Chains A and B, each alone.
Chain A
């Protein structure tokens, strides 16, 4: 029998080990790289066993099963069950673990906790040495082979029966031979490469990524934890560092942590949508606010990216000059970000004299160091427009996926970068004519030559810096695919002119030019910009962006700067988000799908509620989705019922029961436990935010208020206040501790909801010097501290936040259909729907009366409910409101 195995295949070990174990006479051969898979039904790395009948087995477990069947071992219920479990449960978990281990360099064993537990329980429960009895079977081989690559270099976190089973398998001759054959170092490399090409393993729906951290809060508190928490508490506000308020303009300070934060420059030609906002400016803002609260000397700059073809085409579309277009949309952007309360130190633009000076300087240095090449390129030329067409001026059919409306630089459908001349049937965007290919001279950045500088820098940077996994992965695959010289000039007028004879009618390509905008925008902020940008010793640079921008920030721009030999500050931490989807589809500017910055404003929902929700669903580590229903739900469940409710109650008790002065507190072990719990969450919050896990850190904030709510609920101060002396004292202690937790929360939410934070701090009269974060939770509102007016339930939120949402009735403006362009009720549509509802209702009644089958009835009832909902929406009513009595 011929067994064909692909080098680096995750399934290779399994089939080879099974062949050895069952003594099957196979002839092992390695598949050539690029050889097609054995069947279109399986991935290219699947092994293939050619059977005598001519059929091909490609499922690794079926192949193993076959080897044992040949030897006369029939599958039993137990072996079948193990094989099924291995295919559906263990493999995905093991793949995720391997992925974490080999691609991200994190330990992957945690991901295997659940399956390992399952194996252990079975071994203990049956009291057998092997999975399906007292002798080795196909089940043992299959399960061991999947575990071995993950567990081989790790201490197995498991108890005795599992340990000895795993060891006896590992040391059996068949398995050892198989491991030696398959997992040679050279194959291991291919194994990693193979894994990198697989789609990211999807976590099971109920375990969100980052849950390993969440577990920390559940671990038992030790006596030391509690003692430390009590000690910190008693030290009071004096234990907090003095808040640092840097003089303006902010400049690096010797001896301080100097943090420079940039957010990818939004392109000026359009209104940003929520995906853009969470992708860069809002994420960077939350982090910048956090840095300031940590007393790090922080500068956050951003601006609009204004040069380039898209502006020119947009100008043609709107009949304005490019300058007018930029002025118009720059104002739109600035306005939206102001409304979202983005705390830029400076929001500039790229069309400034400083941009020209700095870009030309960088170019000239690159030219002087021999990193610029000249070459003739074939380019599309439109005879009727009498110009060479820059790539955005061309559209055509994508050469890769045949999408009809691919742009000249990139296909919107498959995402591949395109060379405009490769487009099938290109057409000029200006006149719709068919352009012809003609030669023209262009300048190129010699990336292959710069790679020798890039590699050591990247290695060092990755060892010390904090790059998101996707940023590392995208960069690695870019470099792996080979760097090629990259064109940096374009045939346009709207751009930075190229300062070189023979090219004076051209401008720099936006992607050479745009990242330089970070420098020139800072130069517009302060003449001492070089103290930020030519100071890698003192400055730590964070770049925020969506993942599509990664290569330009991790490869192209660092190469430009490295080639100048000018000691520029290069990115230390590259933070890339995944995509935010809209309900189920993608946000798209060009197709007008999604929620845009100006629409968010018009919904009447407070900016802080938007900020909260967007950061709550921040696509961190994986794509996430925006949905109106979920926004409403999270606002009500987390923001109001959890966080708002706790802070409000704590403040109200002080006002109502203690005359607005914080009561004396006599702490008991119960209180110590709460202090320790809060401290654990607080540390976790810091740990996550230091690694820019903004979304995950928000969970810690919400956990603190959950602990707080529970604490109040258990201790019932509103009852005890009516009791005897001792009860009244207890009520005082609980209220005092709770209001201090509220004061801590007020500061912790500041990066997420600055207006809400300010409102709570004002209500509780939190001293301004306490608006700072450290790793300890201390009593900042001591006994006798007077709080201001704490308004009734959520009133403060609504007024300060500019329109919070009242639970539990969903506010009408949150219904999706009424948001974009409110439509007045349409009587004929209502009439039509009413009739349809009546008709469908009759249909359902008949079906029920005639005793039709369940599925049929269910599907008809589903249709009826959908119609009713549509009717409610047409009448501008909440679809769920008047139907409360109906069945779920």
Chain B
């Protein structure tokens, strides 16, 4: 059973593994994807910490912890990176996700995150380099509410983030119920005229 709080986003992200993979779901997750309950959701509250209750042992607390656990349960370890190096890089991005993105962030904080990610993604396909990992999934859920509100011009300013986001949202199984964010293909204007 997954106890979820306000903020949203992450409670759905865990479905990517728990909902899809049949019997490989976390123990006690209930029927279908409906084991996800949302309690005390309030838009102004800070993102609350998810708790996963399993049949064996004490529950797990924290987005990274639960997501990593479910990934292993679903036998999709490659999402956590294969080599030691990759694992460390994935962990780094998961940590960035929970410490920098989606807390009670101001407009300015959000802008900084977008700017930084845009620079980081300039020469990368995925956050951790060349392979799709859990970091991409969780970051997608962390940024969805931001991306939805961006203007067309802003999406062009953060072009690398937009390209990455569009790629991730079309990745099989990732988007779930979230709305598809539209990125237009033709640029509004070009720098040379």
Contact = CB atoms under 8 A, between A and B. Distances in A.
A853 B8 CA distance: 15
Contacts of A865: none
Main secondary structure, interface of A, reads helix
Interface in A39-58: 39-41, 51-53, 55, 57-58
A855 B179 contact: yes
A48 to B, nearest CB: 11
Q: Mostly helix, strand, loop or mixed at chain B's interface?
A: helix
Given A66-B84, A70-B84, A59 B60 contact: no
Nearest to B119: A40
A294 to B, nearest CB: 41
Contacts of B61: 81, 85
A853 B87 contact: no
A62 B95 contact: yes
Contacts of B1: none
B83 to A, nearest CB: 9
A77 interface: yes
A52 B85 contact: yes
A366 B99 CA distance: 54
Contact of B88 (A69, A80, A856): A69
Interface in B113-148: 116-117, 119-120, 129
B92 A57 contact: yes
Contacts of B179: 855-856
Interface in B49-65: 49, 58, 60-65
A125 interface: yes
Interface string A21-53: 000000000000000000111000000000111
Interface in A84-111: 84-85, 87-88
B177 A853 contact: yes
Interface string B159-184: 00000000000000000011100000
A75 interface: yes
B37 interface: no
A61 interface: yes
B84, B129, B177, B178 — most chain A CB neighbours (10 Å): B84
A70 B83 CA distance: 9
A636 interface: no
Categorize the interface residue count of chain A.
Answer: 20 to 34
Nearest to B8: A855
B124 to A, nearest CB: 10
Contact of A62 (B49, B58, B63, B89): B89
Interface in B37-92: 46, 49, 58, 60-65, 68-69, 84-85, 87-89, 91-92
B60 A40 contact: no
Nearest to A52: B85
Given A41-B96, A41-B116, A88-B98, A65 B88 contact: yes
A55 B129 contact: yes
Given A77-B65, A125-B58, A69 B92 contact: no
B102 to A, nearest CB: 11
A55 B85 CA distance: 9
Nearest to B77: A74
Nearest to B88: A66
Interface of B: 46, 49, 58, 60-65, 68-69, 84-85, 87-89, 91-92, 95-96, 98-99, 104, 116-117, 119-120, 129, 177-179
5 contacts: A40-B116, A41-B119, A41-B120, A81-B60, A87-B98
Interface of A: 39-41, 51-53, 55, 57-59, 61-63, 65-66, 69-70, 75, 77, 80-81, 83-85, 87-88, 125, 205, 853, 855-856
Given A88-B49, A88-B98, 12 more contacts: A61-B95, A66-B85, A66-B88, A80-B68, A80-B69, A81-B65, A83-B64, A83-B95, A87-B98, A87-B99, A855-B177, A855-B179
